[in-house]
Structure 1
Amino acid sequence: MTDWTLKIIALLHDPPGKTLGLAGHQRRAFELVERIIGEQEFRQRFGKAASELTKRDFEATPEGKLIKEADRIASAIDRAAFPNQTRLESPDFVRNAQIRHPFSGRSLPLALTGSSQDSVAQDILDFASGQADPRKKYLALWRILPLLSANSLTRLLPPDTRIIDHTLWAHLDVTSGLVSALPEVAMLQMSVGPVQTFIFEARRTQDLWMGSYLLSYLAWTGIKVIAESYGPDAVLYPSLRGHPWMDRWLQKELGTPPSSVFTGDITIAATPNKFVALVPAQEVNDLAGAVAQAIRNTWREIAEAVCQDFPGEPGNGVWMDIWKRQVEREDWPEIYWSAVLWPDVKSYPLQQGAQEALSRVEACLGQQPLRRQRLDLYERSWRQGTNVGTFYDALYELLTSALDARKHSRDFLPAEEDGEKCTVSPSLSALRTAEKQSREQVRQYWRQVADKLKNQGRAHELAADGRERLSAIAAIKRFAQRSYFEQHGVQIYFPSTSRVAAVPFYRELFRRLLVLEKTELREALRDHLASLEQLGYPKVSGEAAKAALPGLRKELEQLPSDLQGAAEAILRYDADVLYPERLEPRLLERELDLEDRNAALKAQQTCRDLRRAVGLVPPTYYAILVMDGDDMGKWLAGKHDKMPAFREAMHPDILPKFDALENAGDWQKMLGTPRPLAANLHASLSAALSTFAWRCVRWVVEERHFGRVVYAGGDDVLALLPLVEAIPAARELYALFTGHAEVKGGDLRIKDDSNGFLAWEDEVLLVPGPNITLSTGLAVVHHLYPLDAALAAAREAERAAKAVPGKAAVAVRVLKRSGETVTVRTRWESMGGLLDELVGHFAKERLSSRFAYDLNERAPVVTALPADARKAAIKQLVKRHKSDWLADPDGLVEHLGEWAQALDAQTPRENVDGVDVPQGLAELARWAVFARFVAQGGGE
């Protein structure tokens, strides 16, 4: 049974702003605890009031002993035990107040003024102390813990004046997590899958989103079991503070707090499929089983809701046999777990020192602890001998290797799937009503399902002609939104690929409606809407139409009320109604069961009229964006070669103090080694990834660039974007991830340098920073291209980006309808804003489109020449194809030449007559052709 009051005390054993006033921090902590748990509870536990309690009194109680032990282990995980001679007193820290980024080692100065202690936000404190019972007090305190600091800068303060690369809150979370796991601790890691097949087997964008959302939601239901039993701080990874579903659960438990704390968007797939927790060793087996059971129960609850609401006639025969076989498989979802029990180093004889500790831990773990050379220094410094927290990196490595090994051993063979196969998941049988049915018979059944959906006003959910024949798994992905998640408050409407491609047309339509007084456009829009109504073209609700693309919704709502009705009406139809070829009578009859040929021909004509009135042809291409962190496994394991040295985690004023120590040479050697992996680093990385996923991704993709996020799990992103917005959105996302950006007044500015902290309006946010990079893949495809093939192309582009030396790269794979496929790649730092600049020059005709093609023709001949000769060739072509409106042609030539030179090292060389020829200029030419393609809206 978890002692929730004890966890409250652990969370407050160091008060906000501890480093500002070390001398009196314990007294402030006692007083704060008393205010939260109440005077009576405080006296019952400690025998006296906070004003009378001493440190010795506190540590003599059972609660104090346990918290001291948790704090001692958490401190060893965080840092080395420094000799007293290296102390840095609070006044010295305040005079040079700063924090360090945990993964870049760069510093952020803190301009601290005023009192020597942090001020507490009274409304936040009242919210926690006002909760009815200890569990709710704890949950409220945990959620709003950083907000106890009234000053946004002091929220960034570290728990120690010497190690300054993590916040006080990260240390308090680990301490509280250990309190509920001690005396015997286990580290548990679990994963939920399958990831790739479940998400990427998709024929519609709604399937794609639901696949990722279901996995995210299932992972959350497992994490919730741990949080309910031991508190959310028991979960080391991912960070749960601010997690959308965590906030949703807390809001139900606690009510609405002050300052609009709960702001997470539960429609975003934001939970990674792996999680790590600290739990009591004696309970780890039962807990893992309970987590797995909760995930399976939730999956079957969702499946049952879809089954009960299924629009066909399932019956109890073959259909139900297929359903149960696929839904109730023993290995579905795939749930794997591993656990490592922490060794009891307290029982090691102190006089035998570090070598005995090493040999015992090595025997316990079955491997050699990492960086064992550190232990001599640790043993000399920890007064109570070797501390188990010292071995955190070794314990974590063992945990992850055990999980990887478990994943490679299968417990069950999949059941045989017979008959007509699912058109979304080809390895599974499609649902059918009889044992032996031909394709046409199965197709006829699915026509009947589509007819019933049409009668319910849901024709858009399934192809009318039986082309879509779904397995149970695919049916759950297709219908879970309406059958299950809407009942749980999740309203999500996803745009079609045609809608995403046509965004520039909608924006121009809205703009012209707003600024033009002429009635021609309004009449053309009204006539097209009337012809679609006469045709009986299916449409969605007004809310679904507006919610599909939040960026368009904002522009729609800026229109005067008398124009909003017609603008909203066109959004209720799929964007296919903007393309005359998609209104061809035979096509409409085959795919939508619309048989009125004359009405179809009329709709084609009004479509052409509307396009002429808008003055723009809707683009036919869109982009799928895939982003994935580079070498994230190495970062999570603390093994990346860019990991800052230990000295880069420290306050600069204490570094000279190590020179005065007796064993100064040993300490200096250790200070030069990479920063050891620590739980606070896991917490910091998770928090940084969460900031990117929850604050940045949707803002950039949906609000700034009119796309749609499929998932944002931290270091991995999947999104759909209009073609013209794809590269700008990807560049902004990369800049926000690394901290090469700042947000002010609702706008974003990209910077040349980053320390890993993101200035966001009046806040300072931790992001992964410049050392942790992302690779980006973009697939540019026609809006009618099969979605599963488009997703595969995006993954191929991502792999091409990850193959670029040094990574931090972007690759674009263009699949044209003509059959031509082109892939280009570059590092972000090499390209900068040059591609956007080229797109602008082509779009505004400051540079002729012939420039791209002429450069592409000449590149194979010129690419092997020296850099000056290649720059001269670029200059000649710019001079030939520029217009008088090109402001700085020499600057453009210089930048293009530098980009081509950088591309030499980033692009695979080609062997010409036995010589490896650099292909930088040829790659630049392909980028120029792509820029021209974007400028013309995907025009061939």
Structure 2
Amino acid sequence: MDFWSGSYLLHYLSARLCWFIAERYGPDAVITPSLWGQEIIDAWILKKFPEFECYFREIDRLDNCHGDAQGSTPITRFNDHVPTSLSTAGFPNVITALVPREEAKAFAEKITQEMRKIWKEVGTKVRDHIRERCVQTLNDRGSEIWEKIAPTMGTTEGSHINYEREFEKWKHQSNWEWNKLWEAQLDHTWESYWTLVPLGDPDKPLQAKTKDPDYKSWKESQQTLAQSRVELPTNPEEKAYGNLNVDTWWGSLQARLGQSIQAIKNTRTWQIPVAPGERSTLSGMYSAVHPNLLYRDRFREGAGLPAGSLRMFWKLMAEVYPGLFNGSEMLNAVELTKRMAWKYGGIANSLGVAEEEDDLENLIRFPNLSSIAAARFAHDAPEKVKQYWHVLEKQIRQVLPEYRDRFGSLTRRPFQVPKTDEQMIPDPQPLSQRTRGEAPYNGVMFSSRWLVDDLGLQDPEDIALLREAVDQAHRQVGLTGGSPSDWWVIVLADGDNMGKYVSGSRLHPYETYLPEDVADQLKKNGLEWQELLQNVKKRMGPATHVGLNRALLDFSNRLVPYLTEKRFCGRVVYSGGDDVMALLPLEDLPEYLLFLRAAWCGNWCGKRDPKDEFRFEGGFWHPQPGKDLSGLPNRPLFTMGEGATMSIGVVIANKGIPLPTVLENLWEAEKHRAKKIPGKDGLCFRVIYQSGNTLEALMKGKLLEQWWDWLKQGPELDLGPVLYRLAEELPLRCVISANNKLFKLATTTILARLDRAEKLEPVRELLVNWINAWESWAFEFQGKSEALGTTPRDLGNLLRFSAFWIDKKKQRDDWIKKPQEIEAK
């Protein structure tokens, strides 16, 4: 079963469905995802069976000895603000289960209905909570809110009377006529479909002896059913084994299952609900909700709904749910459900997470993009961040005193970037116990654009005063030429050729998976055993499939969150199976990509871990004794093993670029560019400038290590101008050849003629060798017009991107080193 989703709610829904299957057929019925060790499943079990808490605490005590409180549970870790996968999407959107044949079709339809039921329950709770809270708030302080909203409505003479009448109507639940609109949008959110493939010929037994009279017929029926591309079993298998079971064809059956569901997806039709009136300002999809937007009969087109009335409702939402809405955005029912489901849709409560009714600080668990962009700068220069806040706060008190308190509440709260927050306040107390001086800082203060939005400024004069205050604060603490919030990074990674792993075609001969002494003993049983062990690939049976799931879970639920949030100043958006989406500051990007790929294939470029936290051996990441690796179990961590590759799309976006534009470019970069590089294993970098112009650079993954070897020295050597010159001259002067190494020779010549050639000596050889390696790789695909990333122009773009990163990193390094022009009081 496959579900389409763009939110963390998939995490909750798929976990609920896995539990639904396991309740009926036992945990072994669910093949993927594996249930063991999934925090959301553990939390669900604890909620249903509180008596199991001692069991989970003991398992955690034995398994997780790095950093977290001994004997903790998913709920205690969440309540203590220890980053876990409980609040981050991590479940894959495909569930494979073994169920009885006679119940399969009915059960597939049942779990489809169950998923829709759960989703509708969550959405309905959110809808009803909004109506009840708005009605209550309007009856308690409606006049106060109207006086605040009315001046910002931009009404003409007499029109505000009509708005005020409508505003008064919302005090009565009977005037909220939006149920049909919510139902239409919620009903068309999830696209679900399922397929069934029998495990073995239904008319044959699941296993047969190779010497039985009907063995040949049994084997042919399994081969026909599985539609395997190769003849199974092999001769060595038939000679070595006395009997066979349908697990021999398991990989082929899984491949057929995948092809079957893909065929359904390719022929599906999906009805999009009519979208009358103004659409969501966040996604541009579906109508933005409004209490009086009728969605039936002739009113389906939204006739008679003024745009001003819609603005008025969303200003009311900002007053009723301060911190969740800012008054300028207008969302559809799906987006409202996603944003409010954790607290107001009952998900937190269903998992046993207690939420204070109005504790918005506890609700906010994810950073704003300004905080992401400034996270590394704040980590490396915490004192300058504090000084900047004091300078800006003084300016706000002088020019916008009425907004001082709101400014303080927005900027004195955590970055929600674990590594940065730990550096800013090494031993943070719970928010309720902090004094004003101990409160953390938030990166929103670096962006006047974000502050204008969050403070709700409407008056052009006030907006101009705030922007000047922010600019002046930047100048006074030495942040010249830009801001730490100017650029942020989003990464989308996907494992290559996962279908081959599931089918077993990426497995090695049996001998690879056996201890040497066991393999030697088996070889003594005859030549057929020697041939089997040395020449026949291991089969992908159910147990091996579960092992593959465990490797994916260690990667996505353990290593990715640790690397992103503990080693780097980033945050995971979701990490499920082979799919990863993460947010990062610009400074962390290149090295993060190296570690992400290393966690996938199990090896750090054949070297020691630079941080000396892990030892890499046998495709496992072994935590080093005595290291504080918070959140990681004290055992070897599975990876996908040597030879595993992934394709990665990266977008570096200016803060002025709308999020939908960034996401559209991200999907394009990963799916249609990085994946299309010859042999996959590609990276596509896209820089989107404030003007909307885009720089795209493509790189083969195997060149990444050599690239970082010289790139990391670029800011100190001010290598940007040199790279821009190479980017211009090399594509004009060189052609790709087999033996002439023209790019290497031209690069060497250009570097030697520079005025500061001696200063570039530490990086010269590394840069030249990397360009030579690029040419050697690109030559393999000359003459193939579809081979992305293999032209001299592609090399030029890659050098331009490298120069861009170096220049921005140097700018940030200079900000940290530059003394303040004045001392903040």
TM category (shorter chain) comes to: 0.7 to 0.9
2:187 paired residue among 324, 328, 337: 328
Structure 2 counterpart of 1:858: 729
Over residues 316-336 of structure 1, what are the superposed CA-to-partner deviations in whole Å (9 max), with x where a residue is unaligned?
77521111122235x835242
Structure 2 counterpart of 1:931: 805
Contact 2:734 2:746 in 1 (8 A): no
Separation of aligned partners in 1, 2:125 and 2:540? 44
Structure 1 counterpart of 2:107: 287
Over residues 621-644 of structure 1, what are the superposed CA-to-partner deviations in whole Å (9 max), with x where a residue is unaligned?
11110000101122112234xx31
For 1:807, the aligned partner's letter is K
Alignment of 1:194-209 (within 5 A): 194-195=4-5, 199=6
1:777 aligns with 2:777: no
Over residues 148-196 of structure 1, what are the superposed CA-to-partner deviations in whole Å (9 max), with x where a residue is unaligned?
xxxxxxxxxxxxxxxxxxxxxxxxxxxxxxxxxxxxxxxxxx222x23x
2:215 paired residue among 348, 354, 362: 354
Over residues 102-135 of structure 1, what are the superposed CA-to-partner deviations in whole Å (9 max), with x where a residue is unaligned?
xxxxxxxxxxxxxxxxxxxxxxxxxxxxxxxxxx
Separation of aligned partners in 1, 2:654 and 2:782? 28
Q: TM-score normalized by structure 2?
A: 0.76
Shift in alpha-carbon separation, 1:604–1:225, aligned structure 2, 3 A: same
Contact 2:655 2:690 in 1 (8 A): no
1:832 aligns with 2:705: yes
Secondary structure of the residue that 1:784 maps to in structure 2?
coil
Separation of aligned partners in 2, 1:525 and 1:592? 14
The Cα shift of 1:855 comes to 1.0
1:430 aligns with 2:288: yes
Separation of aligned partners in 2, 1:287 and 1:638? 28
The Cα shift of 1:217 comes to 1.4
Separation of aligned partners in 1, 2:279 and 2:439? 39
How many residues align? The count is: 704
Over residues 666-692 of structure 1, what are the superposed CA-to-partner deviations in whole Å (9 max), with x where a residue is unaligned?
862684233222112211211111111
Shift in alpha-carbon separation, 1:406–1:698, aligned structure 2, 3 A: same
1:480 paired residue among 336, 341, 357: 341
For 1:603, the aligned partner's letter is L
Contact 2:375 2:417 in 1 (8 A): no
The Cα shift of 1:739 comes to 1.0
Contact 2:395 2:469 in 1 (8 A): yes
Over residues 220-262 of structure 1, what are the superposed CA-to-partner deviations in whole Å (9 max), with x where a residue is unaligned?
1110112222332322111221111122133342113324355
Structure 2 counterpart of 1:297: 117
Contact 2:376 2:588 in 1 (8 A): no
Alignment of 1:360-399 (within 5 A): 360-362=221-223, 365=225, 368=227, 371-374=230-233, 378=237, 382-383=241-242, 385-399=243-257
For 2:647, the aligned partner's letter is S
Alignment of 1:737-776 (within 5 A): 737-741=600-604, 747=611, 755-762=618-625, 763-776=635-648
Stretch moving more, 414-423 or 529-538:
529-538
Identity of aligned residues (%): 23
Secondary structure of the residue that 2:640 maps to in structure 1?
coil
1:446 aligns with 2:310: yes
The Cα shift of 1:218 comes to 1.0
Contact 1:863 1:921 in 2 (8 A): no
Structure 2 counterpart of 1:24: none
Alignment of 1:530-929 (within 5 A): 530=397, 534-535=402-403, 538=406, 545-546=413-414, 548-558=416-426, 565=436, 568=439, 570-571=441-442, 575=444, 577-580=445-448, 593-595=456-458, 600-616=463-479, 617-619=482-484, 620-640=486-506, 643-653=507-517, 664=527, 668=531, 671-741=534-604, 747=611, 755-762=618-625, 763-798=635-670, 799-832=672-705, 834-835=707-708, 837-841=710-714, 843-844=715-716, 846-864=717-735, 868-879=741-752, 880=754, 882=756, 888-902=762-776, 904-905=778-779, 921-929=795-803
The Cα shift of 1:288 comes to 2.7
Separation of aligned partners in 1, 2:459 and 2:791? 61
Separation of aligned partners in 1, 2:313 and 2:264? 41
Separation of aligned partners in 1, 2:536 and 2:719? 55
The Cα shift of 1:568 comes to 3.8
Over residues 51-70 of structure 1, what are the superposed CA-to-partner deviations in whole Å (9 max), with x where a residue is unaligned?
xxxxxxxxxxxxxxxxxxxx
For 1:246, the aligned partner's letter is I
The Cα shift of 1:214 comes to 0.8
The Cα shift of 1:405 comes to 3.4
Shift in alpha-carbon separation, 1:448–1:335, aligned structure 2, 3 A: farther
Over residues 560-594 of structure 1, what are the superposed CA-to-partner deviations in whole Å (9 max), with x where a residue is unaligned?
999984574642xx61x4235666xxx76xx8643
Separation of aligned partners in 1, 2:780 and 2:367? 36
Contact 1:708 1:721 in 2 (8 A): yes
- Unpaired segments of 5 or more residues in structure 2? 64-72, 75-83, 135-169, 356-362, 626-634, 814-825
Shift in alpha-carbon separation, 1:285–1:581, aligned structure 2, 3 A: closer
Separation of aligned partners in 2, 1:829 and 1:438? 55
- Unpaired segments of 5 or more residues in structure 1? 1-189, 200-210, 515-519
The Cα shift of 1:889 comes to 4.2
Separation of aligned partners in 2, 1:857 and 1:705? 33
1:500 aligns with 2:311: no
Separation of aligned partners in 2, 1:293 and 1:239? 22
Shift in alpha-carbon separation, 1:529–1:510, aligned structure 2, 3 A: farther
Contact 1:909 1:917 in 2 (8 A): no
Over residues 7-39 of structure 1, what are the superposed CA-to-partner deviations in whole Å (9 max), with x where a residue is unaligned?
xxxxxxxxxxxxxxxxxxxxxxxxxxxxxxxxx
1:255 aligns with 2:73: no
For 1:904, the aligned partner's letter is A
Shift in alpha-carbon separation, 1:754–1:560, aligned structure 2, 3 A: closer
Structure 2 counterpart of 1:152: none
Separation of aligned partners in 2, 1:750 and 1:348? 46
RMSD of aligned residue pairs (Cα, Å): 3.9
1:276 aligns with 2:96: yes
Structure 1 counterpart of 2:258: 400
Contact 1:903 1:924 in 2 (8 A): no
For 1:784, the aligned partner's letter is G
The Cα shift of 1:777 comes to 0.9
Secondary structure of the residue that 2:213 maps to in structure 1?
helix
Shift in alpha-carbon separation, 1:333–1:923, aligned structure 2, 3 A: closer
Over residues 47-101 of structure 1, what are the superposed CA-to-partner deviations in whole Å (9 max), with x where a residue is unaligned?
xxxxxxxxxxxxxxxxxxxxxxxxxxxxxxxxxxxxxxxxxxxxxxxxxxxxxxx
Contact 1:348 1:356 in 2 (8 A): no
Contact 1:805 1:906 in 2 (8 A): no
Separation of aligned partners in 2, 1:568 and 1:251? 33
Separation of aligned partners in 1, 2:110 and 2:307? 41
Separation of aligned partners in 2, 1:540 and 1:231? 52
Stretch moving more, 760-769 or 413-422:
413-422
Shift in alpha-carbon separation, 1:227–1:897, aligned structure 2, 3 A: same
Separation of aligned partners in 2, 1:396 and 1:322? 40
Structure 2 counterpart of 1:95: none
Separation of aligned partners in 2, 1:652 and 1:501? 51
For 2:413, the aligned partner's letter is A
Shift in alpha-carbon separation, 1:636–1:882, aligned structure 2, 3 A: farther
For 1:800, the aligned partner's letter is R
Secondary structure of the residue that 2:371 maps to in structure 1?
helix
The Cα shift of 1:470 comes to 2.5
Separation of aligned partners in 2, 1:419 and 1:361? 56
The Cα shift of 1:440 comes to 9.8
Structure 2 counterpart of 1:237: 32
Stretch moving more, 216-225 or 647-656:
647-656
The Cα shift of 1:512 comes to 3.5
